[in-house]
């Protein structure tokens, strides 16, 4: 006997969505909102490779290809900096990422009595940076550009892939995931290593990381986005405690795993280490890392902010860590003065234009304490606040301009959703409806919201994670879910970094009725209606219409296809029927319900 059935998704959720103004999608450039096409996340790979900058030369280092997915096709979070682009044969940009020259290292001194910082940056002879790019079939080559848009390096994708060789660390190291908030493909994975920690110091290293991480996630904007991060530890064992101190008389040298040393480039408080070893260990242990931080087991104040952030583990260490991570992760600049002379820097939080600085929108809305204050790295630049930022002096807060930049840096490294349904482009019969659903990646203290567009026309109604599409005509339609982070931390986002989108191509075909030859049942007369409310907590009502009496089964399934609950299993007469579903005993999430009419299969 044939079983006729209809299937609909229901959403059991604790989240209550409210109305908010939808984003206005103006004419986009090729580098603005690029939606992910349904099904794109299947069977993807990531190419991880190192580029070595030696004086004025760039050469390729280790290359590794592994399964994974990168969230943002274009990472345009900083102007006037270096960029790497993945290009098609015709020269179209398929992927782009901004970065700072890895030969640049920032250093600081701190007068704790007067709460004054000084320091600067140096350009080292040698630096390494790791890139992760998506494996794209249409990619032809990779190009690196200077801040002046001069091409300084290029390699064919075929040559890059040919260099693929999984990396293995020579030493066996213990690892631990300290914080796990989700799939590394859609999280920012912070990787900590230690240097100058001997075997007996493993607990000390772990406690140091916990102290530093707790401080980081107590600071805005990191506290808002705690669940966007994973934190991993690599227990690198040294033979001796501490780091090299060639600035002392007599010089002190320690036998450590990463060769950490003070006095790099003759700067007493600038710490450097063996970057080749650090990257090799990272690639061999957690190849999907996004940021590497090294803690130095030494009581002398020091650190550095470059492609790898480093900090000593002493009294001011966790504040130094936040400051240096601001350089490495947020590409922020120092807001204190390097000296009494002019210079040139590139970044979002220093500007030579005091009348119309880059952060003018914050001034326009009257953000407290925001203006244009003389002195930002150099005397000819201005900073956003007088002294309200950890990029100026070691404290617990970032100014609103640096906080905005950090929020953007966080968002470009993740997708604002965990998954979507359906996972491929659907075909819908005229007269039927199709549910579309986004599971958002929610921050801690505000909501990510979703609006829906059909052929670029916003659909009416409040922001919602779900959308029912009931077509009125046959044809091909484009549905786009635009997910946006509504945080008040960001008020200026011309590059749409706080948005993500998913796109479905929908094919609407004429209705087709199916007649059960044995029972004579006409499936075109069977109607299963969307449950209401949806999302719900914890009760919802499911309704259906029968044209003739028959045996009916209504079941609830999880997304793995496992039957969870049978709500109805009986003969029913023609007409409208409904049943109340109580999901209080189930975990919040997405479930399906299926109505079968006819003999049980």
Average pLDDT for the chain: 86
**Which residues have a Cβ under 8 Å from the Cβ of 152 and sit 6 or more positions away?**
58, 144, 145, 146
Could you tell me how many residues make up the chain?
A: 601
State how far the Cα of 454 lies from the Cα of 29, in Å rounded to an integer.
Answer: 20
For 195, half-sphere exposure in the C-beta direction (CA atoms, 13 angstrom radius) is 28
Distance of CA 516 to the CA centre of its chain: 50
Q: What is the DSSP string of 299-366?
A: SS--EEESSSEEEE-STTHHHHHHHHHHHHTT-----SBSSSS-----STT-BS-SSS-TTHHHHHTT
Tokens of 216: 């980081």
Residue 305: what are its φ and ψ, rounded to 5°? -120, 105
State how far the Cα of 99 lies from the Cα of 94, in Å rounded to an integer.
Answer: 17
Q: Give the pLDDT of residue 41.
A: 57
Q: Identify the structural domains of the chain with CATH numbers, from first to last.
A: 3-11+514-598 (2.60.40.4070), 13-28+414-509 (2.60.40.10), 39-411 (3.40.390.10)
Mean pLDDT of 268-291: 95
Q: What percent of the chain has pLDDT over 90?
A: 58
User: pLDDT (tens digit, 9 = 90+) per residue, 158-194?
Assistant: 999 998 876 555 557 899 999 999 999 999 999 999 9
Q: What is the DSSP string of 449-480?
A: EEEEEETTEEPSSS--SEEEE--SS-EEEEEE
Mean pLDDT of 520-534: 63
33: confidence class by pLDDT, cuts 50, 70, 90? low
Does residue 352 carry a pLDDT above 90? yes
Mean pLDDT of 327-346: 90
- 533 and 451 in contact (C-beta within 8 Å)? no
3-state DSSP call for residue 551?
A: strand
118/254: higher pLDDT: 254
Tokens of 550: 């028959």
Does residue 45 carry a pLDDT above 50? yes
Residue listed under structure tokens 């009257």: 366
74: confidence class by pLDDT, cuts 50, 70, 90? low
Q: Which of 518, 593, 599, 600 is nearest to 557 (CA)?
A: 593
User: pLDDT (tens digit, 9 = 90+) per residue, 307-318?
Assistant: 999 999 999 999
**pTM strictly above 0.85:** no
């Amino acid at each position: 006997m044939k079983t006729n059935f209809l299937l609909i998704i229901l959403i059991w959720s604790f989240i209550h969505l409210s109305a908010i103004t939808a984003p206005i999608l103006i004419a986009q450039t090729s580098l603005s909102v690029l939606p992910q096409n349904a099904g794109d996340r299947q069977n993807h790979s990531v190419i991880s490779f190192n580029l070595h900058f030696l004086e004025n030369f760039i050469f390729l280092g280790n290359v590794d290809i592994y399964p994974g997915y990168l969230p943002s096709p274009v990472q345009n979070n900083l102007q006037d900096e270096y960029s790497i682009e993945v290009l098609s044969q015709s020269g179209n940009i398929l992927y782009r990422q901004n970065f700072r020259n890895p030969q640049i290292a920032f250093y600081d001194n701190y007068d704790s009595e007067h709460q004054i910082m000084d320091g600067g940056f140096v350009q080292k002879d040698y630096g390494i940076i790791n890139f992760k790019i998506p494996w794209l079939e249409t990619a032809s080559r990779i190009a690196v550009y200077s801040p002046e848009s001069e091409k300084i390096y290029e390699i064919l994708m075929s040559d890059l892939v040919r260099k693929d060789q999984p990396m293995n660390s020579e030493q066996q190291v213990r690892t631990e995931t300290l914080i796990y908030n989700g799939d590394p493909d859609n999280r920012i994975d912070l990787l900590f290593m230690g240097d100058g920690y001997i075997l007996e110091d493993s607990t000390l290293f772990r406690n140091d990381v916990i102290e530093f991480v707790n401080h980081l996630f107590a600071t805005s904007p990191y506290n808002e986005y705690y669940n966007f991060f994973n934190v991993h530890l690599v227990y690198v064992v040294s033979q001796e405690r501490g780091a090299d101190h060639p600035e002392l008389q007599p010089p002190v040298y320690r036998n450590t795993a990463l060769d950490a040393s003070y006095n790099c480039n003759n700067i007493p408080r600038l710490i450097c280490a063996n970057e080749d070893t650090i990257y090799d260990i990272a690639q061999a242990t957690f190849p999907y890392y996004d940021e590497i931080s090294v803690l130095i087991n030494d009581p002398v104040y020091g650190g550095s902010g470059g492609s790898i952030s480093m900090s000593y583990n002493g009294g001011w260490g966790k504040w130094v860590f936040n400051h240096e991570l601001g350089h490495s992760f947020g590409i922020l600049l120092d807001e204190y003065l390097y000296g009494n002379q002019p210079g040139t820097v590139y970044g979002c939080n220093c500007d030579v234009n005091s009348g119309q600085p880059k952060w003018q929108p914050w001034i326009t809305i009257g953000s407290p304490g925001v203006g244009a204050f003389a002195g930002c790295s150099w005397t000819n630049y201005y900073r956003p606040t007088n002294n309200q930022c950890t990029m100026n002096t070691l404290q617990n807060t970032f100014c609103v301009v640096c906080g905005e930049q950090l929020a953007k840096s966080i968002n470009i490294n993740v997708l604002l959703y965990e998954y979507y349904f359906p996972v491929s482009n659907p075909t819908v019969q005229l007269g039927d409806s199709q549910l579309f659903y986004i599971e958002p990646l929610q921050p801690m203290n505000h909501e990510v919201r979703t609006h829906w567009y059909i052929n670029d026309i916003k659909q009416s109604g409040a922001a919602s994670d779900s959308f029912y599409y009931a077509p009125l005509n046959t044809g091909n339609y484009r549905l786009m879910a635009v997910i946006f982070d509504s945080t008040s931390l960001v008020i200026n986002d011309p590059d749409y970094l706080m948005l993500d989108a998913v796109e479905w191509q929908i094919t609407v075909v004429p209705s087709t009725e199916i007649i059960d030859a044995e029972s004579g049942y006409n499936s075109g007369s069977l109607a299963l209606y969307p449950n209401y409310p949806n999302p719900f907590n914890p009760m919802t009502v499911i309704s259906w219409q029968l044209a003739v009496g028959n045996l009916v089964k209504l079941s609830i399934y999880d997304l793995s296809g496992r039957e969870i609950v049978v709500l109805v299993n009986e003969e029913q007469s023609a007409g409208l029927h409904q049943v109340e579903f109580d999901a209080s005993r189930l975990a919040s999430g997405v479930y399906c319900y299926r109505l079968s009419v006819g003999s049980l299969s």
